[in-house]
Structure 1
Amino acid sequence: MRSFVLTTVFLSALALATPHDYYDPHVINELHKRNIIYDGQIADTYDFVIAGGGTAGLVLAARLSEDSNTTVLVLEAGDTGDAVKSSVDVPGNAYYSSLLGSSYDWNYKTVDQPHAGNRAIAWARGKLLGGSSAVNGLYMVRPSKLEVDAWAGLVPSGDLWNWNGLFANMVKSENFTAPSADIQAAGAIMYDASVHGTSGPVHSSYPGYIVPVVGNWTATLDSIGITRTADASGGEGWGSFIATSAINPANWTRSYSRSAYIDPLPPRSNLAILANSTVTRILFTPGSSGLTASQVEFAATSAGPRRLVNVKKEVLITGGAVGSPQILLASGVGPKDVLDAAGVTVNVELPGVGQHLQDHISTQVVFKASVDTAASLHDSQATTLPNGQSSPFLSFINSATAYANATDLLGKDYAATLTGQIAGSLPASRDSLVPSQYEEVKLGYEAIFNTTLGFMSTQIGQVELLLSLTGTAEGGDQSIAVQAALQHPYSQGRIYITSNNTFDMPVIDPQYLSHSADIVNLREGLKLARKIAQTPPLSSAVTVEVSPGPNVQSDADWETWLAGAIGTEFHPSCTCAMLPQAMGGVVDANLKVYGLTNVRVADASVFPIQFAAHLQAPTYGLAEQAANIIRSQYNGVPLTPAATATPPSATSSVPIQTDQSHSSSILGASASWCLLFAGFVTGAFTLL
């Protein structure tokens, strides 16, 4: 009976918070009249065919179709998402009414991971218009200047990808709204408006409700020597802070690539977006300077008929870290040994396709909430809203964040010792851990390894720490957790295919924890997570440790436990790495695939290194810059100074007060109760 009552209250709260017009047929009909094709009727030929309507693909679609003389087709494997609009739009649903595990999720799994309990680990990725930006945890955390400049340094003519270039385009994508005074005070939020954009499509803001314990986060981190940052968005992405999220404060809904870049557009006769259309392969014609993509083949189902669309200018692959290498491999572009084994004719031998795979892995230390905190989370006060209004409470999501550097984790002496040990491991790691027979890929591994090692002596975060207040599977609706996520892995894996059918799942092998340094850094991060929860003022909110529990104390205890507990933080990247071809690179600085004259990849798969960040914000910036590059080539639109602007420095070390025209409210704690109960049902996660 109790579970029935809890469920009823939860569903009632959700119903009150869901705008009545989410399923209004008039609204859906208006969408039909715009740029999404619902009857399957498209033209025979387009200038640009975009393979993937996710985070990056819809940015390119919107920007390239701004030129009325340019025709653009987007082919998206997933559905439109119209039927699950409330699950997408309500931010809190990312945690407790998620689309993960449904038909809107690719439902990928890794192969069994020998160093992670021989488990096959789920890899959720959004399979609908908007891709993972439609299902993720909404974090808008940018990488640091040091990391982005290191990326640019790995690529000849990589200046477009240095901090100035990427920063300008992340700002271009952003529409920042500062928190209300109440929310800022409750969360002890700091920000610097000068490092944010205010006219871009993607809303970046803070929730309209904040759980009071969030306000203890930065003070607690200060107490253990991890100082708060004025604003991590300005290039100094370390220390502790309350992160911005992809939330539209006008109606407290998720802001994602479809709602930001596509839905606001008027009808454009030169733009067509076709859902339920899986790209099966790219067809090429030979030329003096390489193969040219002339057609794209796609289908609705594995057994369904194959359709062809002609390409006048370029194919732009935006399938993400899994989909993009799979499309190239299915098209005969990749390592010869993989293509031969899969029965795919080799068109371009490119050993790096699918290689250099890196991911953030995480788990959490879970505590039972204190009596006072639990009581506040279960207040019986009801919250009612006028019909048709979205709820500020349901915009609450996890956002208390910190990035701990090597010294924070290990202490100065141990950090120096470990750095030396990692450096000495390179020859053996190169020989035993690179899942490729090709020398180019091994050279790329060395370059990435040495770049990653260089971060150990800087302020760059080695582990991300997150305060989770949305419930956990272990502690239920009265739990609080501190998550720890490895940010710069030395373990690299690969993605490959075993058949010539694109509807067959690719093989995903990230080789988690295959390098011992990853175990050490994550182990120490988890110890730090425990320490944070035991440090005032946050310690007043927790009592006993639920998981892994007080019996886990020694290094061996931690390592045994974490091997069976880690999972993905949902940030895979680097599988079509922007590196020299001689280092197993797949694309050059202009995002063009080596050996192909008119195919580019423009998504998170091209990052050659992992960032101490979430990948949503840099992927938006990358897609904006990709559009600049393409338009510069074809439409006479030069790369303007805005594309490589010098960012302002963060200047504030105290909260900046900003009045807001929109209303925010700190709601009754009954809302927290609903959120935590729902977190118990599904468990907590962070994505992108």
Structure 2
Amino acid sequence: MRPGLSATHIVGASLIASHLASALSPCTEIDDSYDFVIVGGGQAGLVLGGRLSEDKNHTVLVLESGGNGDEYRKRIDTPAYSYFDSLWTTPLNWDFYTVAQPNADDREINWPRGKVLGGLHKCHILKNKQQKINRYIGSSAINGLYMTRPGEDEVNAWKEMLGDMDGADNWSWDSFYAALKKSETFTPPTDDVVDEAGIVWNASHHGTDGPIHTTYPDYTFPEVGDWLTSLQSMGIDTSANMYGGENLGADVSTSCINPSNWTRSYSRSGYLDPLPDRGNYDVLANAHVTRLVFDNATSSDKKTASAVEYTTDSGSTKMTVKVKKEVILAGGTIGSPAVLLYSGVGPKDVLSEAGVGLVSELPGVGQHLQDHLSATVKWSTNVDTAGSIFYDGDKDKNNPKFLTYIDSAVAYVDAKTIYGSEVDEYKSKFLASIDQYVPKTTYDDGVVAGYKAICNTTASKIFNSPTGQIEILFMNSDANGDIGITAALQHPLSHGRIYINSSNPMDFPVIDPNYFDNPADSEILLAGIKLARQVGETSPMSKSLTNETSPGSIVQSDDDWVAWLRKEASTEFHPSSSCAMLPEEQGGVVDANLRVYGLANVRVADASIIPISLSTHLMSSTYGVAEQASDIIRQYYNLPSEPEPAFSGSSSTASSSAATAKKSGTAKSNGSPAGNGGAALSLVWISLVLVSVHAVVGFGLYI
């Protein structure tokens, strides 16, 4: 374990971590056992590790398949590089593909997912340049930085599906909303951006002292303001309440950006880098978990995980670390079910065909997979775009403000806006379709029952509620300078699955989202893509668009649109629900306390547990799940009521110019962010000096 850092050092850690990466002292050993072993050091895993380690009387280990990512730190930290110097082309991307999708022109569709440690903290690191296969990592370090939130109606529908299950109240809107805000420190936009983009917000809906910083880019385009005006002309009003549970209307999304230095704020910079070392928390990078090891005892129906097996050399050598209390899976929608399956927990037929011995039969593992499917209409334009500035070498290309720009103008459109007076007819039609498109499974009593429960809840309680069924997004970062408007289906009635076809845990799991299996999905997305075209044809947005380049005017009829969607639609990168929180008799994998059915000490805590596809980008919700999971676990073990705080939003607050920006376009902010940015920055400079002194005199510094 490493010596602790003073509070002064911690203040400047997020700014200087990348510059001092070489000061990290690699280690090659971890302890034999830990109270909590967390599988996955991505978005959710580092939240769990940070929060659980706040209690000094427990030891915590995070096992992460990927490396630390320091060689790509500038590309991770620079918001605009998520487009222009994308990490998707690097080894930090798993580069998964689905199996051929029969209803999408038999395409194998790319599913990029992040493959990098969310952070590196006084940790043991096993370096192995020959390792080629890493897996099961969240994507907060490489994604598009959107921090949208789900709606109150859909979260409460999730809670209602749990019935009277113990712990169900943890997943009501009120509880989940508190967890979402707990993770966040919000800073309003700067005056210039407000004036140009017309951004509105309600500060009371945001957190003020969480590890993840959210704000708006410090650079924008007039077309973002045109976006909001055009949508208003179409009857889609601008909303300042999108973060308070009203997931309806047009908005400019907050992004996970720290305005004190305009860098990406993510699980590493928020939940790992600032931590003092209390001697009870380790992170092991390049450690790929191969399976959970269970006790052979037969005295209980529930199996107990006694150890976690992992490899640092692509499977040639296997090692184990013992578990004193619990294993927590945080590998995401692909990784968490895969670990269970390779451990012998899952559908009996899948395990038998893959050659994996059955430990605990749990039919729902990998089932109920849902994903947002999207497509984009594109136009050439007569204005500067983010893409043309960057790729044509405009003078703003290296402007620090420009490099904060993120495409974040969005709108969530409900079924009533889409279908008008016919909304109830469409609801009835979609409800009637559910029984025809049940998943391909031998578990009719469980998995199919769960599918019907999810879809009936989606169609009967969410479809005609004031909740987005289609997301519309403005995009101007295309490499050839085009402007795109994307439509994305938010509540698919087609469900797929994650499974394995091999007993080798180094093999990728099989991904089958089953896109467009239920024709209702293509019908709803058809309505959405027509809306996308309509936005582009509505003034003032239309004044900037000169010619539709894709699909072009040749596509007009519904049949033409659907054929085009089957060729072009792809993932919006929001898979969920493969370890669904549902009753076991409905193919559930975890209960409301996140415990895996049939296992005594294994939980799952990531986006895979959300049973209903939410109308939002999943990053904020995943932070909420992990925060809520941390509270559940700590309360279960009766940990101290007043643990030492691990995080403080004031340790890296926004600059004073951003923090004092109160103007909110057409609406006034109802509050202001906490913290004194100017004082924080002064302390940062002090800490930089102190760090330099320590480096000169040879004191160890571990970030």
Aligned equivalent of 1:270: 280
* 2:324 counterpart letter in structure 1: K
Match status 1:332 vs 2:344: yes
- Contact 1:181 1:659 (8 Å CA) reproduced: no
TM alignment of 1:482-501, pairs within 5 A: 482-501=485-504
Which whole-Å CA distance do the structure 2 matches of 1:290 and 1:548 have between them? 54
* Partner residue of 1:514 out of 495, 499, 517: 517
Mapping of residues 72-151 of structure 1, within 5 Å: 72-130=60-118, 131-151=138-158
What is the CA distance between 1:101 and its match in structure 2?
A: 3.6
The reply on whether 1:439 has 2:428 as its aligned counterpart is: no
CA contact (8 A) 2:311 2:318 kept: yes
Cα shift at 1:434: 4.0
TM-aligned CA distance change 1:452 to 1:538, over 3 Å: same
Q: Which of 423, 426, 429 in structure 1 is aligned with 2:434? A: 426
Q: Shift of the alpha carbon at 1:21?
A: 6.6
User: Is structure 2 residue 262 aligned with structure 1 residue 252?
Assistant: yes
How has the CA–CA distance of structure 1 residues 369 and 453 changed in structure 2, closer, same or farther, with 3 Å as cutoff? same
The one-letter code matched in structure 1 to 2:85 is: S
Q: Find 1:395's aligned residue among 404, 429, 438.
A: 404
Aligned partners of 1:375 and 1:127: how far apart in 2?
26
**Count of aligned pairs between the two proteins:** 616
CA deviation after TM superposition for structure 1 residue 29, in Å: 4.1
Q: Distance in 2 between matches of 1:354 and 1:224?
A: 40
Matched with 2:560 is 557
Q: 1:374 to 1:143 in 2, by over 3 A?
A: closer
Partner of residue 684, structure 2: none
Alignment of 1:177-256 (within 5 A): 177-256=187-266
Q: CA deviation at 1:374?
A: 10
Q: Which moves more between the two structures, 297-306 or 258-267?
A: 297-306
Which residue pairs with 1:44 in the alignment? Answer: 32
Does the Cα contact within 8 Å between 2:387 and 2:476 map onto a contact in 1? no
Residue 516 to residue 638, structure 1, CA distance change in 2 (3 Å):
farther
Of stretches 295-304 and 69-78 in structure 1, the one that deviates more from structure 2 is 295-304
CA drift of 1:39 comes to 2.2
Cα distance, 1:409 vs structure 2: 1.8
Aligned mates of 2:213, 2:301 — CA distance in 1: 42
Flag the 1:526–1:435 CA change in 2: closer, same or farther, 3 A: farther
Q: Higher mean Cα deviation, 399-408 or 586-595?
A: 399-408
- Shift in Å at residue 416 of structure 1? 2.2
| Structure 1 residue 457 displacement after superposition | 1.4
1:369 corresponds to which residue?
Answer: 381
Cα distance between partner residues in 2 of 1:611 and 1:150:
11
Name the amino acid aligned to 2:453: A
CA distance in 2, matches of 1:61, 1:371: 46
The question of 1:468 aligning with 2:475 is answered yes
Letter in 2 for 1:382: K
What is the aligned counterpart of 2:458 among 452, 457, 481?
452
Q: Classify the secondary structure of the residue corresponding to 1:134.
A: coil
Which AA in structure 1 matches 2:343? S
Cα deviation code 1:438-457 (max 9, x no counterpart): 42000000100111102221
Q: How does 1:375-414 map to 2 (within 5 A)?
A: 382-383=395-396, 391-413=400-422
Alignment of structure 1 residues 614-629 onto 2, 5 Å: 614-629=617-632
Q: Is the 8 A contact 1:22 1:86 kept in 2?
A: no
Asked whether the equivalents of residues 94 and 114 of structure 2 are also in contact (C-alpha less than 8 Å), the reply is yes
Q: How much does 1:94 deviate? A: 0.8
**How many angstroms does 1:373 deviate by?**
7.3
SS at match of 2:322: strand
Deviations 1:620-646 (A, max 9, x none): 011011010111111435699xxxxxx
1:545 paired to 2:563: no
Q: What displacement does 1:363 show?
A: 1.0
Deviations, residues 566-586 of structure 1 (Å, cap 9, x unaligned): 110000000000000000000
Deviation at 1:410, TM superposition (A): 2.4
Counterpart residue identity of residue 193, structure 1: A
Match of 1:64 among 25, 48, 52: 52
Letter of the structure 1 residue corresponding to residue 347 of structure 2: P
Structure 1 residues 557 and 595: CA distance shift in structure 2, 3 A: same
Alignment map for 1:561-576 (pairs within 5 Å): 561-576=564-579
C-alpha distance after superposition, 1:604-662 (max 9, x if no partner):
0000000110110011011011010111111435699xxxxxxxxxxx99422688987
Report Cα offsets for 1:274-330 as digits up to 9, x if no partner: 111111000111342511110000002334210000000000000000000000001
Q: Secondary structure at the match of 1:556?
A: helix
Contact 1:22–1:85 (8 Å) recurs in 2: no
The CA deviation at 1:266 is 1.9
Tell me if structure 2 keeps the 8 A contact 1:180–1:659: no
Q: Supply the distance in 1 between the matched residues of 2:667 and 2:15 (Cα, whole angstroms).
A: 37
In 1, the alpha carbon distance for the partners of 2:677 and 2:15 equals 21
Amino-acid identity (%)? 48
Instruction: Note the C-alpha offset of 1:382.
Output: 3.2
Whole-angstrom CA distance in 2 between matches of 1:630 and 1:374: 44
Q: Does 1:28 align with 2:34?
A: no
Task: Measure how far apart 1:384 and its partner are.
Answer: 9.6
Give the C-alpha shift of residue 332 in structure 1.
0.6
SS in 1 for 2:140: helix
- For 1:674, the equivalent position in structure 2 comes to none
Q: Which residue of 2 aligns with 1:318?
A: 330
Separation in structure 2 between the aligned mates of residue 396 and residue 428 of structure 1, nearest angstrom: 45
Matched-pair contact (CA < 8 Å) for 2:55–2:640: no
1:306 aligns with 2:306: no
Preserved contact between residue 145 and residue 256 of structure 2 (Cα < 8 Å): yes
Quote the Cα distance in structure 2 between the aligned partners of 1:210 and 1:593: 45
Q: Distance in 2 between matches of 1:21 and 1:627?
A: 28
Shift of 1:231: 2.6
Displacement of 1:213 after TM fit? Answer: 1.0
How many angstroms apart in 2 are the aligned matches of 1:184 and 1:162?
A: 33
Question: Quick one: distance in 1 between partners of 2:72 and 2:667?
Answer: 38
Native 8 Å contact 2:158 2:612 kept in 1: yes
The answer (yes or no) to whether the contact 1:57–1:74 under 8 Å persists in 2 is: yes
Question: How well do the aligned residues superpose, as a CA RMSD in angstroms?
Answer: 2.3
C-alpha displacement at 1:272, in angstroms? 0.6
Which one-letter code corresponds to 1:403 in the other structure?
Answer: Y
Among 564, 570, 580, the alignment partner of 1:577 is: 580
Gaps of 5+ in 1: 1-18, 641-651, 664-688
CA contact (8 A) 2:199 2:665 kept: no
